[in-house]
Amino acid sequence: MQWEVVIGLENHVQLTTQSKIFSGSSIRFGAEPNTQASPVDLALPGVLPVLNRGAVERAIRFGLAVGAKIAPQSVFARKNYFYPDLPKGYQISQFEDPVVQGGTISFAYEKDGKLETKTVNLTRAHLEEDAGKSLHEDYAGMSGIDLNRAGTPLLEIVSEPEMRSAAEAVAYAKALHSLVMWLGVCDGNMQEGSFRCDVNVSVRPVGQKEFGTRCEIKNLNSFRFMEEAIHYEVRRQIELIEDGGKVIQATRLWDPDRKETRSMRTKEDAQDYRYFPDPDLPPLVIGQDWIDRVKAGMPELPGALRARFTGEYGLPEYDSLVLTSSKAMAGYYEAVVAKAGKENAKAAANWMMGDVSSTLNREGVDIGDAPVSAAQLALLLKRIADGTISNKAGKEVFAAMWEAKSDDENLADTVIDQKGLKQISDTGALEAIVDEVLAANAKSVEQYRAGKEAAINALIGQTMKASKGKANPAQVTELLKQKLAG
């Protein structure tokens, strides 16, 4: 039987406010346990929550970016469940009236060696508070509770179940991760729990309209783990069904050491949480004037920037997609073009997607921390464009610039001089070398003049060898053609 995979994601995005969603407690990461929990976070008797305006504005910003409806009035509810790190015995969240409704996320991913694009619809994005954290290590067989995270502001972003492979799901998650960082609503630090992924996975026979029974894999904190977990869970469900078993709706955890998902608990439905409006919080009212103020402060969005890169710089769609994968990458590219000139826009894109990206990946460095600045790369591109050095020599110069870690904007010129990489562009000097090569390679000359045009490649190679790689290849080719025609 042929199976179809159905995937939907729920992403918990920690918002970049300075304080918690309903109290003034700090959300700084790394503090000593239980030093950032106020009476509100601890749910002591008589305290009342007060909504953080900054959290609401970040939710509005996200909603505008994905083309969603911003609810003019939304309601906070109590989601009731017992867990040791939930001091109130309930979580303040949104259920029936979320602040962000609908919207879409578009992304590109590779399928069968080709670049595919896809748009996934969002169900909603709602504000809620995070729970605390249970600690199970180094406590002499006991567990500890750290309530520093309790009350941390989250935006939970829920997609429709429209993804059909692990590759699509990972590409969607990466696009969402990039967008929330682009907007400044989340720092995106997955290791610190700022961006967490819950993946709902089910399978169904190809052609069946009804969804299969889904299982939710909780708290995946890396894209690699997400991909591995989806692949495992899909295999597990298919094998279970084909062996005559039945998938039970459950929450599962990914074990990265054993490379498997394992059951955590049977999956609850909404009624199990006994949602009801929180009596301590009035409805959240968002007027158009508030939305307009947030909109006025929005950065240029990735889609608009891609269109501008394609129109203004003449870049192919693929280049524009890669260069707008992050705000930092796009900013670096525009800074290079501003210094190197629009005539070098395509060359700048090639270098960004080639040597720059491969070096960043190899060194494990973000573009914002690259030791070669945009101005330094721009000068290198100019020196390649004006024939001072060859593109091959440019790679050597770039590597040396990376190692130098210098602030000198003229670093490319310094390295070129130090390594003696300037191309020979003097016509007289080149003519002398070409004449020697023609005299020493009579057979290739004869073959070319007999109509075998490929023979000129051997002559070009010999000329470059004689010049120790310093001859300008374009000039060499032109000079050879002139002399061979004579």
In this prediction, residue 438 carries a pLDDT of 87
Q: How do strand 215-220 and strand 250-255 relate by DSSP bridges?
A: parallel
Token pair, residue 221, equals 């904190």
pLDDT tens-digit readout, 375-425: 999 999 999 998 888 888 899 999 999 999 999 999 999 999 998 888 776
In this prediction, residue 200 carries a pLDDT of 97
In this prediction, residue 297 carries a pLDDT of 95
In this prediction, residue 82 carries a pLDDT of 87
- Are the C-beta atoms of 206 and 145 separated by less than 8 Å? no
In this prediction, residue 452 carries a pLDDT of 82
In this prediction, residue 448 carries a pLDDT of 81
| Residues 10, 15, 20: CA angle, nearest 5 degrees | 115
In this prediction, residue 467 carries a pLDDT of 78
In this prediction, residue 128 carries a pLDDT of 98
In this prediction, residue 267 carries a pLDDT of 65
In this prediction, residue 268 carries a pLDDT of 65
pLDDT tens-digit readout, 172-215: 999 999 999 999 999 999 999 999 999 999 999 999 999 999 99
Low-confidence residues in the chain, pLDDT < 50: none
pLDDT tens-digit readout, 10-56: 999 999 999 999 999 999 999 999 999 999 998 899 999 999 999 99
Domains and CATH numbers, the chain: 3-288 (no CATH), 300-419 (no CATH), 427-485 (1.10.10.410)
